[in-house]
Amino acid sequence: MTLFRRNAAGEQLRSLILLVALVAVILTSSDSGDGPVLSLLSGPFYMAVFCVAGWLIGARRRWLTAYLALALPAFFFGVGLQFFAAPSSLEVVNALLGLGIQLLLIYLVFRFSLLEHGATALDRIFAGVCGYLILGLLWANAYKIHELLSPGGFVSGNGGSISPDDGSLLYFSLVTLSTLGYGDISPVTPRTRILSALEAVTGTLYLAVFISTLVSGLRGNRS
């Protein structure tokens, strides 16, 4: 039984807190220039949010174990990257660990939204919105991995390069996921163009599946 099904306003409040925490992760992902201490503090917060997200959506010990198996190495890698000069390969490993956590969460969101018959409409809305934000973070992570392995895949509107660590790729990811396409950051290589197009398709399909699932759930509750 998942945590969402355990009744109560208390569980929905926890879901709302998770949603707020995800928004906080996004808002604090840009480089604030406050030095390594803030970065060190943001790392555990980031991983804690994702571990709690998996527990709230899955509520099974094996999922939390899987998150910890990915989150703890990612945390220690992140700490080391803040204080020691390290090759980009270690940054790639750290980003891949984060990507694994996000993929697990997306799987749980889809499983909950599509297969959890006892979930209420509000439960599904919370899970769906959290999943949408996680998708944005996931694609930003994928872009970061690309830039670490093959820099120069994105340029700003004035032709300048894009740093993988200043929040620009997360901004680009959210804009692409929602198909806004402001154009102030552009993919300029074949791989980044394909990735961006795939993200736009993913965002559109996600919303379509989410809305149709929500509507069918409401009809089922009325019948």
Which of the two residues, 81 and 196, has the higher pLDDT score? 196
Rounded to two decimals, the pTM is 0.81
DSSP-derived 3-state class of residue 149: helix
Q: Which one of 45-54, 81-90, 93-102 scores highest in mean pLDDT?
A: 93-102
Asked if 142 contacts 103 with a C-beta cutoff of 8 angstroms, the reply is no
Distance of alpha carbon 116 from alpha carbon 173, whole angstroms: 29
Which of the two residues, 61 and 179, has the higher pLDDT score? 179
Length of the chain: 223
Q: Is the pLDDT of residue 156 over 80?
A: yes
Mean per-residue pLDDT for 101-121? Answer: 74
**pLDDT class of 187 with cuts at 50, 70, 90:** very high
Mean per-residue pLDDT for 19-39? Answer: 65
**pLDDT class of 154 with cuts at 50, 70, 90:** very high
Q: What is the pLDDT of residue 4?
A: 41
**pLDDT class of 33 with cuts at 50, 70, 90:** very low
Sequence-separated (6 or more) residues with CB below 8 Å from residue 93: 77
Phi-psi region of 35 (alpha: psi -120 to 50; beta: other; left: phi over 0): left
Sequence-separated (6 or more) residues with CB below 8 Å from residue 62: none
B/e letters for 205-222, b = 16+ CB within 10 Å, e = fewer, are ebeeebeebeeebeeeee
DSSP 8-state class, residue 4: G
Mean per-residue pLDDT for 129-135? Answer: 86
Report how far apart, in Å, the C-alpha atoms of 95 and of each of 57, 71, 160, 182 are: 23, 11, 24, 26
Distance of alpha carbon 203 from alpha carbon 210, whole angstroms: 10
